[in-house]
Structure 1
Amino acid sequence: MSEKNLITLLKLVIVLGLCLIGLGYYLINVAHIEQTMGITGMMIGGGCYAFGIILSLPTKMYLTFIWVTAEHRNKHKQ
């Protein structure tokens, strides 16, 4: 997989993670799913938060690492 495709894939994973965080927020704070579904609703909302964070944070760190190394390579070429 080329570096450009990898970066695009990681950006999509970040967006998916942020969407899951937003969905978790909506379910718990706006739709009040815990009042209608009880503990199961809280687990669904919390799971959306958790998976969103799992998807978004490590990919941000990896993308930053890729960009820093690319910048470092470009500086030393000139």
Structure 2
Amino acid sequence: MTNQAQIKLLKVFIVIGLFLIVTGHFIISKEWLAHMGPLGFIIGAACIAIGLICSLPTKIYLTILLMKREEPH
């Protein structure tokens, strides 16, 4: 896999992770969650957890890739 394709894939994972974090926050913060009971909190927390797993490590790895790409040879 080329560096460009790898960077593009990492950016997609970051966007998916951020979307899941926002979705989980939206699920937890709404009033209709009281009707769902504990299942609503579990779904919201799962969305936030998966979003963090997708977005945080990829940001670190993307930063390392971009730093290696810009260092002089």
Fold conserved between structures, TM > 0.5: yes
Deviations, residues 1-40 of structure 1 (Å, cap 9, x unaligned):
111001000000000000000000100113542x111111
Question: Displacement, 1:71?
Answer: 1.1
Q: CA 1:54–1:28 in structure 2 vs 1: closer, same or farther (change >3 Å)? A: same
Q: What root-mean-square deviation, in Å, do the aligned CA atoms of Structure 1 and Structure 2 show?
A: 1.1
Paired residues in the alignment total: 73
Residues in 2 aligned to 1:43 and 1:30: alpha-carbon distance in whole angstroms: 14
Query: When the two structures are superposed, what TM-score results if normalisation uses the length of structure 2?
Result: 0.93
Query: What is the percentage of aligned positions where both structures have the same residue?
Result: 44
- Give the equivalent residue in structure 1 for 2:9: 9
Q: Which runs of 5+ in 1 are unaligned?
A: none
Q: After TM superposition, which residue ranges in structure 1, 4 or more long, deviate above 6 angstroms?
A: none
Q: Which amino acid aligns with 2:39?
A: T
More helix by share: 1
Residues in 2 aligned to 1:3 and 1:11: alpha-carbon distance in whole angstroms: 12
Q: Which amino acid aligns with 1:51?
A: I
Residues in 1 aligned to 2:45 and 2:2: alpha-carbon distance in whole angstroms: 35
Residues in 2 aligned to 1:10 and 1:56: alpha-carbon distance in whole angstroms: 9
Q: Kindly name which structure, 1 or 2, has the bigger radius of gyration based on alpha carbons.
A: 1
